[in-house]
Chains A and B, each alone.
Chain A
Amino acid sequence: MKSILSTCAQDFKRLLTNALFWVLTATLAVIVLVVDLALPKEVALESAQLLTLNAPADVAFGVPAESEAALRDAVRQGDAIGFLFGEDGLTIVNPGYSEKSLNVYVLELMREGFVPVQTESLDASAKEIPFNLRFTPVFICFEALMTGFILGGALMLAEKQDGTVKALRISPLGAHRYILAKTLLFSLIGTLYATLICLPTVGGSIDWGAFLLLSFCGTAVFTMIGLAYTTPFRDMSSWFFSMVVLLSVNMLPTISYTSPAFTPFWMRLIPSYPILMAYRAAMFGGSIDWGYTVVAIAAWAAISYLLALWFVSKRHLRGARV
Chain B
Amino acid sequence: MIQVKQVFHDYEGKGKFAVSDISFSVESGSIFGFLGPSGAGKSTIQNIMTGLLPIQQGEVLYENQSVRGLKTAFFNRIGVSFEQSNLYASLTGLENLRYYAALFSVPTVQPMELLERVGLREDANKRVSHYSKGMRQRLTFARALLNRPSYLFLDEPTSGLDPKTAVGIRDLILEQKARGAAVFLTTHSMELADALSDTVAFLYGGVIAACDTPEALKREYGRRDVRIVYRENGEERETSIPMDDHERLSAFLKTADVVKLHSQEATLEEIFLRVTGKELTA
Contact = CB atoms under 8 A, between A and B. Distances in A.
Interface of A: 2-3, 5-7, 10, 13-14, 17-18, 162-174, 319-322
B88 A172 contact: no
A265 B62 CA distance: 54
A167 B75 CA distance: 11
Nearest to A173: B103
14 contacts: A3-B103, A7-B99, A18-B90, A163-B84, A164-B86, A170-B80, A172-B74, A172-B75, A172-B76, A174-B72, A319-B53, A321-B71, A321-B74, A322-B72
B73 interface: yes
Q: Which 7 A-B pairs have the closest CB atoms?
A: A6-B102, A163-B86, A17-B90, A172-B75, A174-B72, A10-B99, A321-B72
Given A14-B91, A319-B52, A321-B71, A167 B143 contact: yes
A6 B84 CA distance: 24
Contact of B103 (A6, A14, A319): A6
B150 to A, nearest CB: 13
A173 B51 CA distance: 14
A171 B86 contact: no
Interface in B83-117: 84, 86-91, 95, 98-100, 102-105
B86 A162 contact: yes
Given A164-B86, A164-B87, A171-B103, A13 B72 contact: no
Nearest to B82: A166
Nearest to A166: B86
A13 B129 CA distance: 14
A3 B80 CA distance: 19
A166 B88 CA distance: 12
Contacts of B87: 162, 164, 167
A208 B53 CA distance: 49
Given A3-B103, A10-B99, A320-B75, A170 B50 contact: yes
A130 B105 CA distance: 54
A172 B103 contact: yes
Contact of A171 (B75, B90, B95, B98): B75
Nearest to B129: A17
Contacts of A165: 86
Given A10-B99, A167-B80, A167-B100, A172 B86 contact: no
Nearest to B69: A321
B141 to A, nearest CB: 12
Contacts of A171: 75, 100, 103-104
A172 B74 CA distance: 7
A172 B82 CA distance: 17
B78 interface: yes
A309 B21 CA distance: 35
B216 interface: no
A165 B87 CA distance: 9
Given A162-B86, A163-B84, A320-B72, A13 B91 contact: yes
B70 interface: yes
B102 A7 contact: yes
Interface string B172-183: 000000000000
Contacts of A7: 99, 102-103
B98 A172 contact: no
Contacts of A169: 51-52
Contacts of A13: 90-91, 95
Nearest to B71: A321
A2 B99 CA distance: 10
